[in-house]
Amino acid sequence: MRARIGMVALVIASLVLAALLSLAANAATAEQRWPGPLDSLRQQSWPSVAVLVVLSVAVAGVMTWKQGRPSAGRDDPPPPQPAEVPGWFVARSETLDAVAAVCRGRRAVGITTSLWGAGGFGKTALATAVCAHKRVRRRFRSRIYTVTIGRDVRGRAAVAAKIAEVTLFITGDSTEFDDPNLAGDHLGRLLDQRPRILLVLDDVWEDEQLTPFLRGGRRCVRLVTTRNPNLLPHGARPIKVDEMSPDQARAVLAWQLPPLPADIIDALLETTGRWALLLHLTNRLIAEQTATGAAPAAAATQILQQLRVLGPTAVDEPAGAWDLDDPQRRSQAVQASIEAAITLLPPDGAARFAELAVFAEDEAIPLVLVALLWRETGGLTEGQSRALCRAMERLSLLMLKPDEGGRIRLHDVIRDYLRGRLGAAPLTALHARLVSAVAATLPAAVPLAPTAADPGSAWWRLQEGYLLDHLIEHLLAANLTARAEAVAGDLRWVETRLTQRGPTAPWSDLTLIDTPRARAAALSLAQAAHLLMPTDPARALAGVLYSRLQPTQFWGDQVTARARDASRHPLLTNRWTPPDHPSAVVQRAFSGYGRAFWLLTVLPDGARLATGGYNGSVRIWDAASRTRTATLTGHTRQLRSVAVTPDGTRLATTGDDRTARIWDLTSGTCVAVLAGHTRAVHSVAITTDGALLATASHDGSVRMWDVASRTCTAVLTDPTDPVHLMAIAPDGTWLATSSKDRSLRIWDSASGSRLPGLAGHTKRLTAAAVAPDGSWLATASEDRSVRLWDLASRACRATLTGHTERVTAVAVAPDGAWLATVGRDRTVRIWDAAGHHTVALVRTEGPLTACSWGPDSRTLAAVGRHGVYLFELLV
């Protein structure tokens, strides 16, 4: 407030002084000649006026810009000092690309890599170099913050806590939220009030970790490091870390080594294929040998010979032709270096190193757990185990971090090699010994109820996150399926996992076990997942869990027994079965394709799905086997819409390449390319008889096409705005389109004239779907609502609310009885046709972009960043 009063006073004083100056200047300029150089202004009066006006406007603009700059942030904690760039770091073009991207003001820059791990040139090292770059530090005035996310940050509560930690780190604000989206909004608002900031989000694994950090912060650039580029938001600049050039490889190989003969270095570069991981392993091997007094050239020659025996040049293919993304090839390539390194370990070190293959891939493994295993297999003390891990780290066989009591991490290639060396049977036995060693540290336990299986030990007492996350996997790998079912099906384990990781964790444990009882137990948890979010107070979550599981056959007895436990009180219990008992079954179909697919339609046979998206291709899937049966390629840019003819013989697609294509689903070939639009084609729709096809474009037009002749029969033009979405009447007599004006326009297909439209949404429309009989339609909007419209009266007969973020898709069942909606809030909602209430709601792992009903009106498919989901309606 004081700053504003001071600014107002300064403006008033400036105006008074300007007025007095004008009066004095008017008197002074009355003379016929001005003193000195000022007389040139009198002689060139109008040009002088023009120049001075331009300068005045420029000065005023600069002052306004400075006045409008964010004033917050002066009292923030000081930014951290830049991290030290590793000594082995080699400057690469990717570093300069990332520097240029963040300095150009891109909202998000993603650094990805296909080769991660021990001593290689990785994404984190590149991000560190970017943050230390002079241009970057000058651009952001050292306001650069690095936050490590990591795989362990899972679940809404954990993500919200991480955002609160970042908020405190940057701004000093200690406000906390249980909801990660609210926490992200709060952080975004605070960043909006601050000058430019570079926020480095290191080691991001899942969409739920990244999305809240992307909210707000218009002056904040996010530099994301991840192994999965599909997580990056649309428009982000991905930068991939790949193979090294000869000069770069030579620098890594020679790091901290005495001079080596050029011919030996060249031979090592050729033999290693210039792969960063192999180069660093070789470098550490030579360093370890020379540290004992060996001659550098002799040590390098010996290692070269070992590499040639078992390394890349031992096969027919030249090293440069190797596909290092192939796990089998990578394992073979690294074998020679590992074999050479383990000979330098203490006695039995090779056997202990091989046993590390028992642990989960790409996880930080607690050193205390490693010590527990090695005590069981080799009789090592914890001190001996820590010393052995340190020796392995010096050879770059693993990564060792001292935080949280010490944790190790294996490169996936090294782990694959170790698993191949052990073999299947010894690996199974090793899993059993690990599980036995952990069980010995826990008290015995009995079943909660006579109908429940015996868990053997109180596994829910485990404190280590790694064991909680991977215990079921280790039990199954040890062929202890019955024990795994008993543990995952124990209500005490479910409570622990629910508190630790959220509702998907106990459900995921059960889905790993392919038994009838496990499937029944998982189904009950899936039906209740949308209600099992963190509560305030936290202990109330157990009551919600019990109320949802008590009516089920599998969990009922355990809930009753658990509710009798006085330590659980106070506790709310059901007096009768809840009236909204779940009525939808969710089955995870397939995943891992992320942002590559964001369009979806169920084919009329109900047995196949079609997906499409950013890479311009359409993939056909068999729903039962979850396998891809065909790939349709032809579009040169990302797809925008997909539709199928009622007989299932033809598929229509549109994309940013300004074309629509018609595909023969029997042969998988493109039978027609429909050209005519001058900009991206956003939407396609087909009439129920399959005779007419309509396309809507960013160029403001809608084109009608005859499917048989593949000719354009009519063009409807709306020059005011681009057409973003479209729906067509079942008989093709009218069309509905929407642009940016929040309304739906209705067109007569034959005459091209506009009919009375539909208005009521407060934000832009995102989707529309027409009922099978054409009497009503549904519209979805960014205002988080869905409206049902009666087309005869043009009246809104119902407004459906419940989504907490933008609704992205809406679909009407073929029988017209049900309506499905999906949105960015990660929920699928199924409504009756009257729109009176939700009959089913299921929460998924990530934002959803499309949904489609099966021909039986009982099955529903939805697609999002985490994959495709199949649902069955049980009503």
The predicted-structure confidence for 226-251, as pLDDT tens digits, reads as follows 877 777 887 788 887 766 777 778 88
Give the strand pairing for 681-686 and 692-697: antiparallel
Which range marks the domain in which residue 826 is found? 582-595+766-875
The residue type found at 367 is L
Q: Are residues 109 and 203 in the same domain?
A: yes
- The answer to whether the CB of 604 falls within 8 A of the CB of 855 is yes
The predicted-structure confidence for 611-622, as pLDDT tens digits, reads as follows 887 778 888 888
Q: Are residues 231 and 98 in the same domain?
A: yes
* Domain final position from 206, 223, 241: 241
What is the radius of gyration, based on Cα positions, of the chain? 33
* Domain final position from 209, 225, 241: 241
The predicted-structure confidence for 365-382, as pLDDT tens digits, reads as follows 999 999 999 999 999 999
- SS3 annotation, 516-539: HHHHHHHHHHHHHHHHCCCCCCCC
Q: Are residues 320 and 375 in the same domain?
A: no
pLDDT above 70 (res 517): yes
Q: Are residues 98 and 150 in the same domain?
A: yes
Report the CATH number at residue 782: 2.130.10.10
Q: Are residues 432 and 360 in the same domain?
A: no
pLDDT at site 421:
83
Q: Are residues 864 and 740 in the same domain?
A: no
Q: Are residues 495 and 469 in the same domain?
A: yes
- The answer to whether the CB of 853 falls within 8 A of the CB of 602 is yes
Residue 600, domain member (yes or no): no
φ, ψ (nearest 5 deg) of residue 519: -65, -40
Residue 65, domain member (yes or no): no
- The answer to whether the CB of 775 falls within 8 A of the CB of 729 is no
| 173 burial via Cβ count (<10 Å: 0-12, 13-18, 19+) | middle
Where is mean pLDDT largest: 52-56, 424-428, 676-680?
424-428
Length of the chain, in residues: 875
Report the CATH number at residue 134: 3.40.50.300
The predicted-structure confidence for 9-42, as pLDDT tens digits, reads as follows 555 655 555 544 454 455 445 556 666 666 666 6
Sheet hosting strand 669-675, strand order edge to edge = 639-644, 650-655, 659-664, 669-675
Helix/strand/coil percentages in the chain, nearest 5: 40, 25, 35
Q: Is the dihedral of CA 167, 172, 173, 175 positive or negative?
A: positive
pLDDT at site 1:
44
HSE-CB at 95 with a 13 A cutoff on CA atoms is: 21
- From 179, 153, 185, select the one nearest 167 (Cα to Cα): 185
Residues 87, 92, 95, 100: what is their CA dihedral angle, to the nearest 10 degrees? 140
Please state the domain count of the chain: 6
Q: Are residues 775 and 717 in the same domain?
A: no
The predicted-structure confidence for 156-170, as pLDDT tens digits, reads as follows 767 877 888 888 889
pLDDT at site 440:
95
- From 868, 869, 849, 870, select the one nearest 858 (Cα to Cα): 870
- Please state, in angstroms and rounded to a whole number, the distance separating the CA atoms of residues 587 and 591: 12
The token pair that represents 70 in the structure block:
């964010």
Residue 358, domain member (yes or no): yes
The H or E element spanning position 407 is strand 407-409
- From 549, 435, 451, select the one nearest 498 (Cα to Cα): 549
pLDDT above 70 (res 293): yes
Q: Are residues 671 and 725 in the same domain?
A: yes
